[in-house]
Structure 1
Amino acid sequence: MRMMLLTAGTRGDVEPFAALARFAAGHGHDVRLGIPDSSGVDLSGLDTVSLEVDFHRLVAEHGISPWTAVRHFRTEVGPGMRRMLAAAVRETLAFAPDMVVHHPKVLTAPAVAQALGVPHVVVEAVPVLTPTRQFPAPGVVNRDLGRFNGATYAVARGAERMFRRDIERACATLPGGRPGTVDAPAATLLPISPQLLPRPDDWPVSVHLTGAWHPDAPVPEPDPAVREFLRGGPYLVATFGSMASGDALARGRAVVEGARAHGLRTLLLTGWGGLALPDDLQGDLRDDVLAVPSLPLDAVLPGAELAIHHGGAGTVHTVARAGVPHVVVPFLADQPFWGRQLHGLGLAAAPIPQRKLTTGRLTAAIDDALGCRAAAKRAGVDVRKERGLEAALSVLTSC
Structure 2
Amino acid sequence: MKILLLTAGTRGDVEPFLALARAAVARGHSVRTAIPDNSGVDVGGLDTVSLRMDLAQFISEHGVSPGMAAKEFRTAIRPAMSQLLSAAVEHIVEFAPDVVVYHPKVLSAPIAAQRLGIPSVLVETIPSFTATREFPAPFISRASLGPLNRMTYRFADVATLMFRRELDQAVKDLPPAPRTKPRPDATMIPISPQLLPRPVDWPDSVHLTGHWSTHPPAGEEAADSAENDQELLDFLDGGDFAYAGFGSMKAGDPRALGTAIVEAARRNGLRVVAATGWGGIDVPPNLRSHDVLVRESVDHSLVLPRAAAAIHHGGAGTTHAVVRAGVPSVVVPFIADQPFWGYLLHQRDLGPEPVPYRKATTARLAHALAHIGRYREQAAHTGSHMRRENGTAVALDVLESLARS
Query: TM-score with structure 1 length normalisation?
Result: 0.96
Superposed displacement of residue 183, structure 1: 4.0
Residue 149 of structure 2 aligns to a residue whose secondary structure is: helix
Distance 2:199 2:362 in 1: 37
What's the C-alpha RMSD, in Å, of the aligned pairs?
A: 1.3
- Which residue number corresponds to residue 392 of structure 2? 389
CA deviations 1:302-353 (Å, max 9, x no partner) are 1111100010000000001110100001111100001110001101111111
Distance 2:326 2:142 in 1: 26
Distance 2:215 2:348 in 1: 26
Conservation of the 8 A alpha-carbon contact between 1:3 and 1:29: yes
- Which residue number corresponds to residue 152 of structure 1? 152
- Which residue number corresponds to residue 191 of structure 1? 190
Structure 2 counterpart of 1:362, from 341, 365, 371: 365
- Which residue number corresponds to residue 312 of structure 1? 315
Residue 371 of structure 1 aligns to a residue whose secondary structure is: helix
Distance 2:346 2:395 in 1: 27
Residue 351 of structure 2 corresponds to residue 352 of structure 1:
no
Superposed displacement of residue 173, structure 1: 1.1
Superposed displacement of residue 144, structure 1: 2.4
Alignment CA distance shift 1:369-1:179 (3 Å): farther
Residue 253 of structure 2 corresponds to residue 247 of structure 1:
yes
- Which residue number corresponds to residue 168 of structure 1? 168
CA deviations 1:217-262 (Å, max 9, x no partner) are 3424140110111111111101111212112222122211221122
Distance 1:185 1:170 in 2: 19
Residue 279 of structure 2 corresponds to residue 273 of structure 1:
yes
Superposed displacement of residue 392, structure 1: 0.2
Alignment CA distance shift 1:269-1:216 (3 Å): closer
- Which residue number corresponds to residue 267 of structure 2? 261
Taking the TM superposition and a 5 Å limit, the aligned residue runs for 1:28-67 are 28-67=28-67
Taking the TM superposition and a 5 Å limit, the aligned residue runs for 1:262-341 are 262-282=268-288, 287-341=290-344
Conservation of the 8 A alpha-carbon contact between 2:4 and 2:101: yes
Taking the TM superposition and a 5 Å limit, the aligned residue runs for 1:91-170 are 91-170=91-170
Conservation of the 8 A alpha-carbon contact between 1:114 and 1:182: no
Which stretch of structure 1 is more off in the superposition, 286-295 or 380-389? 286-295
Amino acid at match of 2:309: L
Conservation of the 8 A alpha-carbon contact between 2:273 and 2:293: yes
Distance 1:327 1:117 in 2: 46
Which stretch of structure 1 is more off in the superposition, 314-323 or 41-50? 41-50
Conservation of the 8 A alpha-carbon contact between 2:4 and 2:99: yes
Residue 350 of structure 2 aligns to a residue whose secondary structure is: coil
Superposed displacement of residue 378, structure 1: 0.6
Conservation of the 8 A alpha-carbon contact between 1:307 and 1:324: yes
Which runs of 5 or more residues in structure 2 are unaligned?
none
Distance 2:274 2:12 in 1: 20
Residue 41 of structure 2 aligns to a residue whose secondary structure is: coil
Which stretch of structure 1 is more off in the superposition, 204-213 or 286-295? 286-295
CA deviations 1:87-112 (Å, max 9, x no partner) are 11111111111111000111111121
Residue 225 of structure 2 corresponds to residue 221 of structure 1:
yes
- Which residue number corresponds to residue 345 of structure 2? 342
Conservation of the 8 A alpha-carbon contact between 1:140 and 1:333: no
Which stretch of structure 1 is more off in the superposition, 272-281 or 58-67? 272-281
Percent identical among aligned pairs is: 53
Conservation of the 8 A alpha-carbon contact between 2:7 and 2:102: yes
Which stretch of structure 1 is more off in the superposition, 180-189 or 45-54? 180-189
Superposed displacement of residue 181, structure 1: 2.6
Superposed displacement of residue 278, structure 1: 2.3
Distance 1:164 1:145 in 2: 30
Runs of 4 or more above 4 Å deviation: none
Conservation of the 8 A alpha-carbon contact between 2:5 and 2:17: yes
Q: Report how many aligned residue pairs link the two structures.
A: 395
Conservation of the 8 A alpha-carbon contact between 1:132 and 1:203: yes
Conservation of the 8 A alpha-carbon contact between 1:139 and 1:332: no
- Which residue number corresponds to residue 79 of structure 1? 79
